[in-house]
Structure 1
């Protein structure tokens, strides 16, 4: 086995196992009938999208960790916000600010499988927030944006990462 193959296995196997465990854990906790309300939550803190403020991606243009004193429960998950204004904006229209596909990696869905998206690797496309597993996935998604959005939406149902 070459060193490259060995390193690739070391890197991808734990990531794949974590993503699958997160998907199966959420499915077992929320049940199959509640899958439309599925959002990836941090396994340690139970905050949606790792505790990042979903509105900050739009307002500030980069991810910002929310304040634990400013939280809101929506679709069975706790969301954190940087300030009360962001919380109010999310309360008015959460569908606008919540990440697409429950926070799953958008390009992975294009390829037909589910991975946990990384809030640090994101894109706002046509006023929708998308997360990606890697920067390469983000690049590939954005280079063929229209077909990628269609393919990801179609595969979101098959993989359990339904659109919000």
Structure 2
């Protein structure tokens, strides 16, 4: 549901739904709906961050589970932030931008990738090498590559 709201807000803010920064979730007010981006790598699942551990980067506020995760992100945000400004990886490989869902994700080649649906995630992972390359090309065209 938060991903759908994020998508609608993007449509209203811009005629193209093309994020140039990481757009905060309109309900939570934080990037990734308030989930800790480092937790995807450490815990292999989304975990809600705490307002005690906030950091501004990429046009959004990010929150973290603990100080260690915040420091890891502060030192290398490009490592932990989702690819394609959070746009759905499979849809992007197909040539269009959709909001990725922070609950439907995969770590592909060491990078966090979100997807619009479980089916899209499956299809992407079946041919991840080719679709990752296609998505990277489309990120430039659709604007799903944040200007940081």
TM-score, length-normalised on structure 2? 0.88
Larger relative contact order (Cα-Cα within 8 Å, sequence gap ≥ 6): 2
Alpha-carbon spacing, 1:147–1:22, altered in 2? closer, same or farther (3 Å): farther
How many residue pairs end up in the alignment? 145
- The corresponding residue for 2:36 is 53
Among candidates 8, 28, 31, match of residue 21 of structure 1: 8
Q: What is the distance in 1 between the residues matched to 2:7 and 2:45?
A: 27
Per-residue deviation, residues 87-115 of structure 1 (Å, max 9, x unmatched):
00000100000000001111110111111
More helix by share: 1
- Tell me the C-alpha RMSD between the 2 structures: 2.4
Alpha-carbon spacing, 1:74–1:63, altered in 2? closer, same or farther (3 Å): same
SS of residue matched to 1:40: coil
Q: What are structure 2's unaligned runs of at least 5 residues?
A: none
Q: What are structure 1's unaligned runs of at least 5 residues?
A: 1-13, 29-34
Higher Cα Rg, which structure = 1
Among candidates 23, 27, 41, match of residue 44 of structure 1: 27
- The corresponding residue for 1:102 is 85
